[in-house]
Amino acid sequence: MQRVEADKDRTIVTFEVSGTFPGSPAVLRQAFTFDSHQRIATLETL
């Protein structure tokens, strides 16, 4: 599963990770903002 969406000035990415940890697989959502050089300025786990 992978999804990318725009929300105002943020880019929100939804993705699945799996491994040998409790709760695997897990779906995570993270929001990014970018600076004027297109580098990640902020990263937030939702």
Residues 23-38 have pLDDT tens digits of 999 999 999 999 999 9
**What integer is the mean pLDDT of 1-26?**
95
Residues 15-26 have pLDDT tens digits of 999 999 999 999
User: What confidence score (pLDDT) does residue 45 get?
Assistant: 96
H or E segment at 16? strand 10-17
User: What confidence score (pLDDT) does residue 17 get?
Assistant: 96
Residue 1: pLDDT band (50, 70, 90) is confident
Sign of CA dihedral 24, 25, 31, 34: positive
Strand partners, 42: 33
Work out the angle at residue 30's Cα, subtended by the Cα atoms of residues 29 and 32, and round it to the nearest 5 degrees: 150
Query: Which domains does the chain carry?
Result: 2-45 (3.10.450.50)
